[in-house]
């Protein structure tokens, strides 16, 4: 019965979510106004087959990460999100776990910044949502799974990136990441996913373990980033890290100084890059 109720709720919410409100292009003939299954799968970063099995009641125990991703993709309210967690047989995240809820105001902000690369991460630097311009600039993150979505993990485990750092910049940035992760761990000591992330990083990265053992706390500051893009070339952009009061979210906003070649390349990317993503 729980699996059936879960599937019914997902279908109901999918049917009411218009593609344009979810940041997807609208085109062609559609049988319904809501999201298609493949669109929900894309937004949540899961397979179409898994969405189908959930809706049909053939899969009834999704993980907390998948439930959170579905709630964001469907733009559920806080109460609806809690209901979805309970339908999945899970307790909604409490005050001791890293928040992953995108407030309506943050969602509206992303909807309006269509020409600006913006990514939203939680307090542990796990990427929750990226607008099309962010994906065009930094690479499409929809295929990332698990720890691959975490910025600290990607930085220390050698994941590919378009950002180019000098050795000194790398050391400074890594130190800041670890310092902020420790600060987050102090705020959310009961979060099992965060504890596992730290344990795995300590086990697999000597550099992370070395920095972690210093005990430093702090935060990642705004900076300038040099990004090597395969289509438009090298861009040097301001990367502002904005904190959302009350939700502990990070907004990573990339902008170019007006009148520069970087601004021209970013404008070109708004045409070329997003066409590639939706084509």
3-class secondary structure per residue, the chain:
CHHHHHHHHHHHHHHHCCHHHHCCCCCCCCCCCCCCHHHHHHHHCCCHHHHHHHHCCCCCCCCHHHHHHHHHHCCCCHHHHHHHHHHCCCCCCCCCCCCCCCCHHHHHHHHHCCCCCEEEECCCCEEEEECHHHHHHHCCCCCCCHHHHEHHHHHHCCCCCCEECCHHHHHHHHHHHHHHHHHHHHHCCCCHHHHHHHHHHHHHCHHHHHHHCCCCCCCCCCEEEEEEECCCEEEEEEEEEEEECCCCEEEEEEECCCCCHHHHHHHHHHHHHHHHHHC
pLDDT at position 277: 46
* Number of other CB atoms surrounding residue 210 within 10 Å: 12
Looking at the chain, which residues constitute the CATH 3.30.450.180 domain(s)?
104-278
Looking at the chain, which residues constitute the CATH 1.10.260.40 domain(s)?
2-87
Q: What would the CATH number be for the domain defined by 104-278?
A: 3.30.450.180
The stretch 17-40 carries a mean pLDDT of 77
Reported confidence tier of residue 279, pLDDT bands at 50, 70, 90: very low
CA distance 81 to 260: 43
Say if pTM beats, i.e. exceeds, 0.85: no
User: For residue 1, is pLDDT > 50?
Assistant: no
- The answer to whether 141 and 121 are in contact (CB under 8 A) is no
Give the residue with greater pLDDT, 21 vs 229. 229
Q: What is the mean pLDDT of the chain?
A: 89
The stretch 44-69 carries a mean pLDDT of 89
Q: What architecture is domain 2-87? A: Orthogonal Bundle (1.10)
pLDDT at position 45: 82
The stretch 77-103 carries a mean pLDDT of 89
The stretch 82-95 carries a mean pLDDT of 89
Task: List Cα–Cα distances, 99 to 14, 191, 248, in angstroms.
Answer: 23, 10, 7
The stretch 252-259 carries a mean pLDDT of 96
The stretch 216-236 carries a mean pLDDT of 93
80 — alpha (psi -120 to 50), left (phi > 0) or beta?
Answer: alpha
């Amino acid at each position: 019965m729980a699996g059936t109720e879960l599937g019914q709720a997902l279908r109901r919410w999918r049917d009411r979510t218009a593609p344009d409100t979810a940041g997807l292009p609208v085109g062609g003939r559609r049988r319904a106004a809501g999201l298609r299954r493949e669109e929900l799968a894309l937004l949540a970063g899961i397979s179409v087959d898994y969405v189908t099995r959930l809706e049909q009641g053939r899969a009834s125990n999704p993980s907390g990460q998948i439930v959170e991703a579905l709630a964001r993709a469907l733009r559920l309210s806080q109460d609806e999100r809690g209901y979805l967690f309970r339908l999945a047989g899970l307790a909604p995240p409490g005050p001791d776990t890293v928040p992953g809820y995108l407030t309506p105001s943050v969602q509206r902000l992303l909807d309006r910044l269509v020409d600006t690369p913006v990514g939203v991460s939680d307090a542990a630097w796990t990427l929750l949502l990226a607008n099309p311009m962010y994906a065009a600039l930094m690479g499409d993150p929809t295929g990332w799974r698990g720890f691959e979505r975490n910025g600290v993990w990607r930085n220390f485990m050698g994941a590919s990136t378009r950002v180019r750092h000098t050795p000194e910049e790398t050391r400074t940035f890594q130190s800041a990441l670890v310092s902020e992760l420790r600060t987050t761990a102090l705020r959310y000591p009961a979060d099992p996913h965060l504890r596992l992330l730290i344990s795995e990083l300590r086990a697999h990265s000597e550099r992370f373990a070395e920095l972690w053992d210093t005990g430093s706390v702090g935060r990642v500051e705004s900076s300038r980033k040099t990004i090597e893009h395969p289509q438009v070339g090298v861009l040097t952009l301001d990367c502002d890290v904005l904190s959302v009061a009350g939700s502990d979210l990070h907004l990573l906003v990339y902008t170019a100084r007006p009148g520069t070649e970087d601004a021209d390349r970013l404008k070109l990317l708004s045409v070329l890059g997003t066409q590639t993503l939706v084509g």
